[in-house]
Chain A
Amino acid sequence: MLSREQQGLNWLLQWFDPRGRSIGGLAFILNRITALGLVLYLYLHLYYLRQLTMGPQVWNAFIDSAENSPWIGIGELFVIAGGLIHGLNGLRIALNSFNIAVPYQKQLFYGLFTLALIGIAFFAVHMFGA
C-alpha cells in the first residue's frame, strides 16, 4: 500500500524485526535469515573454489589451513543449521501452499524446528565430539 520510497527502511525492518510477531512471522524471519546465510555461503564457497585454478600447491595450502582452523568447522555447522532450518521450514510452506495442514502451521513449525535442532545437535556432536 506504501511504496518502498515512502516506507524508507521500514519495509526492511518489518522483514527482520521479531517484536510482536506470531510463530508464523518468526518462521518467516528465520527463513529470510537462513536464506541470506546460505546465499553468503554459496558466494564464499565459489570464492574459495577459485583457488583450484591457481594450481595444486595453492589449493593444498588452503585445505591445510582450513583443516587447522576451528572457524571453518563452526561455519560448516552454521551452513548445516541454515540448510536444515530453511529446508524443513520450506517443506512446511510447500505443504501449506497446497492447503495441507494450514490450521496446524504452528504445530508443523514446532515439529520441524525441533527436527532441525536434533539434526544440528547430531552434526555438532559428530563434528566436534570426542
Chain B
Amino acid sequence: MSDEKWTVTFIIHRQKGPDSQPHFDEFTIEIHPEEFVLDGVEYIWAYKDRSLVFRHACHHTTCGACGMRVNGVEKLACMTKIADVTQDGGKIKLEPLRNFPIVGDLVVDLGPLYRKMHEVHAPEVIPLCASPWEGEGIKPPQETPKREDGEEYIRLPDCIECGLCVSACPTAASDAEYLGPAVLAAIHIQGIDENPDLLALADSREGVWRCHSAYECSAVCPSNVDPAWRIMDLRKQIIARRLKFKK
C-alpha cells in the first residue's frame, strides 16, 4: 500500500437517543483511499470525538454489526473502501440504517429483526446441500460431499442479520408488521414443505404477498443471500400449492 493520503470530510448523523433532534457533524481527516469507511469512523472516534456512537466487531464482513448508510446506500462500513465512495477532497455522508429505532448516532436497535428471526427459528447452521456455492448464485449444489460417518456437513448460513435489507426495503418503511426480506429468506432456506408453521407465516398478509418487488434487499445484501429471489421462489411454491400442483 502506498503512502498516498486523501483529505476526506465525513458528514456524520448525530442523535443522542431516539427522542432527541438529529443533526450532522463534519470531520475532515487524512485517510488512505484503500482504507475502509469503518477505519475513518474509528479514527474520528479515536482522535476527534470520543462521544461518537457506532458499532463494529469483526472488521471482515462476518458479524454484520457495522451496517449503516454510506452516501445514502446501505453498506457494511468494514468492507466499503474509501476510494469506492468518494474522491480526494470529497465527502462521505454517514447515516444510521432506516426502519429501526435509533439508539444513538450511527447505531440502531436491531432487536425487532432478531425477534422476528427467532420467531421463524432461523437456523444457526444449515446443511451443506441447502447452501449456495460461492460465486454461483444461490442455486443449491448438485452434489455435496458426505462425511465418513454418513452425516451431512453443515455450515453457517449466509445471512449475517445485519439489517441492511430491511433498511433498504420501501415496504418495511411503511409496514412495521411486514416480516421483511431477511426473515422470509430464513423461511425459504428452511423450506415450507418441511415446516407447515413457516408456510402459514410466509403465506400471510405480512408475508411474501406484502413484498412490492423493489429488489433493494438483494441490491444491498453483502452476503449473497439474495432475499428477493427467495421471496419470489416462495411465492411460486405457494401459488403451486394453491393450484394443487403440489400437496
Contacts and interface: CB of A to CB of B under 8 A. Distances in A.
Interface of A: 1-4, 6-7, 10-12, 14-15, 19-25, 27-28, 93, 96-99, 102-103, 105
Nearest to B69: A20
Interface stretch (B2-10, B36-44, B52-60, B226-234): B226-234
Interface string B169-187: 0101110100010000000
Contacts of B219: 22, 24-25
B215 A25 contact: yes
Nearest to B235: A97
A5 B232 CA distance: 30
A14 B235 contact: no
A4 B137 contact: no
Given A97-B239, A99-B232, 14 more contacts: A2-B99, A6-B176, A11-B174, A15-B173, A21-B216, A22-B215, A24-B213, A24-B216, A28-B216, A98-B232, A98-B236, A99-B235, A102-B233, A105-B213
Contacts, number: 92
A84 B212 CA distance: 19
Interface in B109-131: 112-113
Dominant secondary structure at the B interface:
helix
Nearest to B219: A22
Contacts of B233: 99, 102
Interface residues of B, number: 34
A102 B99 CA distance: 25
Report whether over half of chain A's contact residues are helix, strand or loop; otherwise say mixed: helix
A105 to B, nearest CB: 6
Nearest to A12: B174
Given A96-B213, A98-B235, A1 B174 contact: no
Contacts of B216: 21-22, 24-25, 28
Contacts of B201: none
A23 B172 CA distance: 18
A86 to B, nearest CB: 13
Contact of B99 (A1, A20, A103): A1
